[in-house]
Amino acid sequence: MTDWGNHLETMRANAPLVQNITNYVAMNVMANVLLAAGASPAMVHDEGEAGEFAAIAQALTVNIGTLSPHWLRGMEAAARVAHEAGTPWVLDPVAVGATAMRRDAGARLLALRPTVIRGNASEVLALAGADAAGKGADAADSVATAEEAARNLARRTGGVVAVTGAQDFVTDGERAWRVDNGHPLMPKITVMGCSLTGVVGAFLVGQDALRATVAALAFYGLAGERAGARADGPGSFQPAFLDALYSLTPDEVSAGAKVMPG
């Protein structure tokens, strides 16, 4: 049995400085999620300093949720520095198929070779150039429909692609894993996916990208299970979720991770 909790233990020991260029909706929750999990978040986006800061960050995450041309320049500057320095970075292509500006941003960021791409099925399909049904941040396509696109995208970028949904699918183009942790309330709360992208970034520091991503997804889903068991709805879920990220131990992750080869 694979010991997925080890990856949480390593992340907490690293307490990595993670730079996040993310959307306005996600910023606060993402910072709290990273702090609760055990990492050190920093939100630095302007092109005048994003690359300079990426040189000192241990991981970078980029999310195009509330995109504008100015922010895209900061994203590209930071991702370029991360790519050249070998710093792991994660792309979260929110609603990438919805508009021409998003499709262009997706292509530009893909060229900078993200270590991991984390999106829902519609986003991975759109990024891979396939037809996708989803227009907003919600996924209208099922995870299963995006598996082949995820494998192709991973081979093309040389990175890992994680398609998240009811059951997650993670692949580096050759190997693949499925993660079955989570709770039905999670899609009823905004930026749960965006915040997960930050946790994936934190797990990547000094760890194998494929396995670290799988471990991050299992940890996050387990926290969701614990919170969901205590919540009366999507409101009470949120404080319970941060408490769970904070209190979950590596042993509990190893025991509770529902991971199988894909």
Residue ranges for the known binding site for substrate are 43
Residue closer to a second copy, measured from CB, 107 or 260: 107
- What minimum distance in Å lies between the beta carbon of 85 and a second copy? 15
- What minimum distance in Å lies between the beta carbon of 240 and a second copy? 6
Q: Residues forming the annotated binding site?
A: 43, 118, 164
* SS3 at position 178: strand
Q: Residues forming the annotated binding site for ATP?
A: 118, 164
Cβ partners under 8 Å of residue 120, min gap 6: 134, 138, 139, 141, 143, 163, 164, 165, 193
C-alpha 137/C-alpha 96 separation (Å) is 9
Residue closer to a second copy, measured from CB, 16 or 159: 16
Residue closer to a second copy, measured from CB, 150 or 248: 248
Give the sign of the dihedral formed by CA 221, CA 227, CA 231, CA 237.
Answer: negative
Tell me what percent of the chain is helix, strand and coil, each rounded to the nearest 5.
50, 15, 35
C-alpha 152/C-alpha 56 separation (Å) is 32
Residue closer to a second copy, measured from CB, 84 or 188: 188
Residue closer to a second copy, measured from CB, 98 or 153: 98
- What minimum distance in Å lies between the beta carbon of 95 and a second copy? 7
C-alpha 52/C-alpha 152 separation (Å) is 32
Residue closer to a second copy, measured from CB, 136 or 158: 136
Beta-ladder partners of 162: 118, 170
Q: Determine contact, residues 34/57, Cβ cutoff 8 Å.
A: no
Q: Determine contact, residues 90/201, Cβ cutoff 8 Å.
A: yes
Please give the helix or strand (H or E) that residue 168 lies within, else none.
strand 168-171
- What minimum distance in Å lies between the beta carbon of 153 and a second copy? 23
- What minimum distance in Å lies between the beta carbon of 53 and a second copy? 6
Binding residues (CB under 8 A) for a second copy: these are 17, 23-29, 31-32, 35-36, 40-46, 48-49, 52-53, 56, 65-70, 95, 98-102, 135-138, 188-191, 231-247
Within 86-181, where are the H helices? Answer: 100-110, 121-127, 147-157
